[in-house]
Amino acid sequence: MSQQPPFHDEHVASKPAASEAAPAMRGSCMEVFLAFLRLGLTAFGGPVAHLAYFREEFVDRRRWLDDYAFSDLVALCQFLPGPASSQVGMALGLRRAGWAGMLAAWRACTRPSAGAMILLGLGLARFGGLAAMPAVHGLK
């Protein structure tokens, strides 16, 4: 009778390594940029919600990687300081199209919300001032 090590988990034990499960496929920087721009324009809800959108887009729809590789990537990025969704996005861009893909993913996913906040701030400063603050109070 063989003994299993403590805390043995059959699912984890049978899981293939991420490098064996789904080799990284090469794509273009523009492909990465457009995929992340779409998410940057439509994904709301913060980092946890973004991870769900990323999984749906890149595991289910585009099949850039499998569930195991995505789970490993999310686990690594949650361990690191900073927002995990930004790190996962940049890692997906890096995996798909190298360093340029990483930068494209970051720019495309970040620019829409950053641009909206800049425009909102400029608009409040120019037209609304403090009188318009109650209108945007819920955006914090």
Q: What is the mean pLDDT of each run of 10 residues along the chain (140 residues)?
A: 52 51 75 97 90 97 97 95 94 97 97 90 75 64
pLDDT at 43: 87
Q: Is residue 63 domain-resident? A: yes
User: CA angle, corner 70, sides to 26 and 41, nearest 5?
Assistant: 75
Question: Does 13 reside within a domain?
Answer: no
Query: Is 54 within a domain?
Result: yes
Does residue 138 fall inside a structural domain? Answer: no
Per-residue confidence (pLDDT) for residue 21, from 0 to 100: 46
Q: Quick check: is 30 in a domain? A: yes
Judge contact between 24 and 65, C-beta under 8 A.
yes
- Residue 22 in tokens: 């789904």
pTM over 0.85? The answer is: no
Per DSSP, the residues of 1-33 read -PPPPTT--HHHHHPPPHHHHSPPPP--HHHHH
Residue 133 maps to a domain: no
* Structural domain boundaries, residue 38: 21-110
Query: How many domains does the chain contain in total?
Result: 1
In a domain, 117, yes or no: no
The answer to whether residue 96 is domain-embedded is: yes
| DSSP state for residue 56 in the 8-state scheme | I
Which residues touch 34 (CB under 8 Å, ≥6 apart)?
108
